[in-house]
């Protein structure tokens, strides 16, 4: 039996798929298991590799760092808003109800989008987060 020498682009180690999978995993880990540690690792990879990797890895790297920063900004803004509501006299039960509902919606959405990004990276395709994602380069497999 002969082995096929035809390899697909997703199995090519030079196309950046391994790095794309790593950054998507770090994004999901940042949301679920080790929030600050995974973000720091993601930021270090971004600073070291940005601009010097294939289009597939570049796309996932830019998307995950942008989404992580947006998630942090949303979380910080929500925390400030809830503190301000507490200062103006809104009762604790109303604030905690709002916190739980808002956190559940935002966090679940970001995790879901991270899982979609991870599945795209596993299949060797580029991915752009809705609303906060950058446009994809022309040479990126979709």
- Per-residue model confidence as pLDDT tens digits over 74-120: 889 999 999 999 999 889 899 999 999 988 998 999 999 999 999 99
pLDDT (average), residues 18-41: 94
More confident residue, 12 or 99: 99
What is the Cα–Cα distance from 22 to 117, expressed in whole angstroms? Answer: 11
The whole-angstrom distance between residue 44's C-alpha and the CA centroid of its chain comes to 15
What is the pTM for the complete model shown? 0.82
Closest CA to 120 of 30, 62, 59, 38: 59
- Per-residue model confidence as pLDDT tens digits over 36-67: 999 999 999 999 988 888 989 999 999 999 99
């Amino acid at each position: 039996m002969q082995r096929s020498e035809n390899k697909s682009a997703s199995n090519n180690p030079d196309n950046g798929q391994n790095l794309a999978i790593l950054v998507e995993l770090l994004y999901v880990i940042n949301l679920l298991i080790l929030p600050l540690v995974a973000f720091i690792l993601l930021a270090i990879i971004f600073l070291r590799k940005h601009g010097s990797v294939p289009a597939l890895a570049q796309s996932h790297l830019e998307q995950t760092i942008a989404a992580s920063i947006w998630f942090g900004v949303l979380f910080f803004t929500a925390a400030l808003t809830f503190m301000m509501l507490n200062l103006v006299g809104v009762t604790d039960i109303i604030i905690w109800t709002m916190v739980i509902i808002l956190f559940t919606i935002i966090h679940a959405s970001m995790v879901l989008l991270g899982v979609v990004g991870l599945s795209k990276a596993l299949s060797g395709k580029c991915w752009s987060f809705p609303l906060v994602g950058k446009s994809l380069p022309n040479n990126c497999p979709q």
